[in-house]
Amino acid sequence: MIYFQPYENPMYFGVLFIALIPIIVLILNGRRSKIYESIISIFFLFLTFGGPSWNQGVALIIYTIYETVLTFAYSAYRKKANKSWIFYLAVFLAVLPLTLVKISTATHDQVQTLIGFLGISYLTFRVVQTIMETRDGVIKNLNLITFLQFLLFFPTISSGPIDRYRRFEKDYNRVPKQDEYLEMLKKGIHYIFIGFLYKFILAYITGTLMLPELKTMAMAQRGNFLGLSWPLLGVMYVYSADLFFDFAGYSLFAVGTSHILGINTPMNFNRPWQSLNIKDFWNRWHMSLSFWFRDYIYMRLLFMFMKKKTFKSRITAANVTYVLNMLIMGFWHGLTWYYITYGLFHGLAIVINDAWLRFKKKHQEQIPHNQFTKYFAIFLTANIVCFSFLIFSGFLNQLWFSPVTTPKPHVKLK
Amino acid sequence: MFKKLFKIFGPIICAAILVFLLLISPLNFGFGHINKNVQKDAATSLEAKVVKGKEVKEQALNDNYVAFFGSSEWSRFDPMHPSVLAQKYDRSYRPFLLGAKGTQSLVQFLTMQTVTKQLKNKKAVFSISPQWFVPEGAKLDAFNYYFSPLQATEWILNEHNSTMDRYIAKRFYEMLNSSKDPILRQSFKDVSEGKDLSNFEKSYLKLRHRILLKEDRFFSTLFISKKNQLKIRKCEKQLPNNYDYNKLYDLAGQLGRKQTSNNKFGISDKFYRKQIKKRVKQLKGFQKDETFTKSPEYSDFEAALEMFARNNTDVIFVLPPVNAKWQKYTGLSQKEIQNAVTKLKFQLNSQGFHHIVDLSNDGDIPYFMTDTIHLGWRGWLYFDSAVRPFLENEQKKPNYHINEQFYSSSWQNAMVSQIKNFK
């Protein structure tokens, strides 16, 4: 039997394409077989979570049952009553497995291997969002099969993009018209091929060919003040490029495959390197994640602060919420100093950015605004982002704190 | 609708057909010929793609290159390095360095597969480090890094259910990452159990081999690093115009003295500063418990020997020492090393491999080693003075007789006192 990580090699795409042919034919004929789609979903989940990763598969099944019971229990409760503490409890319970995994990853104990699996974060985002919208009353009737398909949608299971239940449901319960679907197919194939360029060529050049060399060169100069060196600057840019090509490539595969399945999964990247400022950047980078944080953390926190009048000024409330929001995102990435610093860095960057925008608005006449300032803004933003990715990469941790490697005579690998 | 569908999928289908045809077609499109300079770079680049490939090695060994099997020692370039000396003094042979950090007997066995024709009745050099012979054997990650599907398919399509084939298949099956080529891995399992390959496996492996061969031809000569060739040219400039052993010996001493000033171990300054200085205290005594007598590597090595025997290749084996001062500091027992050397020499001599250069007791000669375990300056010169006459002069035809007992776990675990039982 053959097992794959999603989109890892040409063979995966071969199997994927063959599995998709019946779906393409059916949709072109104006039909959708939910049974076949479910079988395909289970088949691909099995390819990822079976065999050598079977323990992750077990964790996935238990997790899915747990979250489904929780979500449906809350949905049933919400039809009768709407107590805040029940809602908070439901969210707490939904996030609990992910929290345990994150803590155990940081403390290196065994919980991670017991309850963790590839994509647990993204499933949790989907569950929490469903519970929140159930509370808001916008999701009224949950359908079990649709919910499971939404939660376990195989093209996006390991790293998103994070779809919304209502949006997914709408696509899932209708068959696109022939012309519309041909358009989706065209886009889907186009995305997948751009993904090949990103992931298998550009991410290979940056991540496999360049980055290890640069890291070795930078490590060789760790004796410098703070380990600063030219190769370190190279690590910063090349890591940033690699992160983008790798993740954007993966996202293109996920979105492209979704399109072929007749589901308009939202895009994850929109030319992030052309961002004019940090806020603009977060509207273009890993969009489904940043919009999730915006809608379910930022907006809700801000609303709560305003309602309770925690802060005197609107601006202070917004600033505190920005920092909290990004800090939570940092914690979500993992409980290490560099992820948390990364979150804090972006929170503060947005605060500064906002202050600058207010200042600019007040002094519109004095501050020039032309092509040059536009390109300067793009350049500055890209560099600030790359610096934040250097923090995020954890390489500084290795550079500053890792022990000097022991030259064991028989350890001969790079 | 079909017109639109064709617009979407037509180009992909055309591209797929073209690539497939290109890969299985007998034509080479001019990629077959390898430039002499590329050959020169490849012979010293030590890159994994060279170790894993075929075409470059094949053509070089057809010319005047000689296969030098080994591992990380080849990367210690200084003026006395065999590649530098052969180039500077325009010898009749040039070393083709095969091996890098982490390549041990199993990888060497694989490397031989693609050049069996070139090894037939030829000479070769094999540098073998006692440090490979640790109880856990070859490292999984190193093996997987250097594992070449091209070489593996070449071997398995030629296997004929010998003890060696079954042994190797078992080792490959155990060592290869399960996520890599499942059909190839399954065929390792079948061969290890003495079964024939199924027709499906055979046709799959043949097709795969054909495609890999083409890929190797198209891509393996691209982007070969010139870094080491540049180092060699720099080193050449430091040598006198005419070869004179005594002059070179003095020069080796002078260079060694100049470059080992920051530590008491005679380790080159750069290596010491980068790898050891910060942890020198922790490293004291860290090799007290190392043993080299019991290891699956002994049987892996046997498979490499059997390949040489099958091709009637005349091989000279070099057993390098460990830096004696460093060895004393880390507590590595010389007796353990000598046990391994005794076992290895027995394995070699008893099967007819008589060209053995044992340097394992020379780790205390000043400037013999460039760092902890690698030859440098004078060590390279000793190496050269043994290897050069072997390669330049006519040798008596070897007469090998392979003893399959060396594939047994009892040999892998044999104590020195027991080796006589393996006659």
What residues of chain A lie within 8 A of the CB of B286, using their CB? 406, 408
Which among A220, A403, A412 is the nearest to B102, CB-wise?
A412
CA distance A405 to chain B (A): 7
Span A242-291, pLDDT tens digits: 999 999 999 999 999 999 999 999 999 999 999 999 999 999 999 999 99
Length of chain B: 423
Span B137-152, pLDDT tens digits: 999 889 999 999 999 9
pLDDT value for A404:
58
Residue type, A37: E
Average pLDDT over residues B96-111: 93
Q: Which residue has the higher pLDDT, B29 or B164?
A: B164
Which among A2, A407, A411 is the nearest to B276, CB-wise?
A407
Span A305-349, pLDDT tens digits: 999 999 999 999 999 999 999 999 999 999 999 999 999 999 999
Residue B423 in this model has a pLDDT that exceeds 90: no
pLDDT value for A111:
65
From residue B105, alpha-carbon distances to A234, B126, B173, B303, B340 in Å are 37, 10, 16, 8, 15
pLDDT value for A409:
37
The Cα–Cα gap between A151 and A138 comes to 18
Span B316-366, pLDDT tens digits: 999 999 999 999 999 999 999 999 999 999 999 999 999 999 999 999 999
| Stretch (H or E) spanning B216 | helix B199-219
| Stretch (H or E) spanning B127 | strand B123-127
Q: Which of A132, A57, A58, A150 is nearest to A94 (CA)?
A: A132
% of chain B exceeding 70 in pLDDT = 99
Contact A182 B279 (CB under 8 A): no
Which among A2, A185, A406 is the nearest to B283, CB-wise?
A406
Residue B42 in this model has a pLDDT that exceeds 90: yes
CA distance A413 to chain B (A): 5
Of the residues A108, A333, A346, A410, only one is catalytic, namely A333
The DSSP code sequence of B298-335 is HHHHHHHHHHHHHTT-EEEEEE----HHHHHHHT--HH
Phi and psi at residue B145, to the nearest 5°: -65, -40
pLDDT value for A212:
86
Residue B92 in this model has a pLDDT that exceeds 90: yes
Which among A2, A52, A413 is the nearest to B102, CB-wise?
A413
Coil/strand/helix, residue A265: coil
Q: Which A positions 119-178 lie with beta carbon below 8 A of chain B?
A: 178
Q: Evaluate whether A285 touches A269 at the Cβ level (below 8 Å).
A: yes
Contact B287 A409 (CB under 8 A): yes
What residues of chain A lie within 8 A of the CB of B145, using their CB? 413
pLDDT value for A9:
83
Contact A404 B279 (CB under 8 A): yes
pLDDT value for A383:
98
Contact B4 A182 (CB under 8 A): yes
Q: Which of A276, A279, A273, A275 is nearest to A350 (CA)?
A: A279
Residue A28 forms contact with B (CB below 8 Å): yes
Contact A182 B8 (CB under 8 A): yes
Instruction: Check if A190 is active-site.
Output: no
The Cα–Cα gap between A10 and B179 comes to 13
pTM of the model: 0.78
Coil/strand/helix, residue A64: helix
Average pLDDT over residues B52-65: 92
From residue B217, alpha-carbon distances to A26, B32, B33, B53, B204 in Å are 43, 6, 9, 9, 20
The residues with which B357 forms a beta bridge, in sequence order, are B318
User: What would the two tokens of residue B350 be?
Assistant: 């008893």
Contact A189 B276 (CB under 8 A): no
Residue A410 forms contact with B (CB below 8 Å): yes
What residues of chain A lie within 8 A of the CB of B102, using their CB? 412-414
Span B206-235, pLDDT tens digits: 999 999 998 898 888 888 888 999 999 999
From residue B209, alpha-carbon distances to B155, B170, B213 in Å are 10, 21, 6
Low-confidence ranges of chain A (pLDDT < 70): 1, 109-113, 404-414
Residue type, B277: K
Contact A178 B1 (CB under 8 A): yes
Which of B147, B177, B274 is the mutation pick for testing A, counting most A CBs within 10 A?
B274
ipTM over 0.85: no
The residues with which B122 forms a beta bridge, in sequence order, are none
Phi and psi at residue B101, to the nearest 5°: -45, 120
Which of B5, B179, B294 is the mutation pick for testing A, counting most A CBs within 10 A?
B179
* Chain A residue closest in CA terms to B104: A412
Residues of B in CB contact (< 8 Å) with A are 1, 4-5, 7-9, 12, 71-72, 101-103, 131-132, 134, 139, 141-142, 145, 178-179, 182, 274-279, 282-283, 286-287, 322, 332, 372-373
Which among A52, A189, A412 is the nearest to B72, CB-wise?
A412
User: What would the two tokens of residue A202 be?
Assistant: 């550009």
CA distance B212 to chain A (A): 15
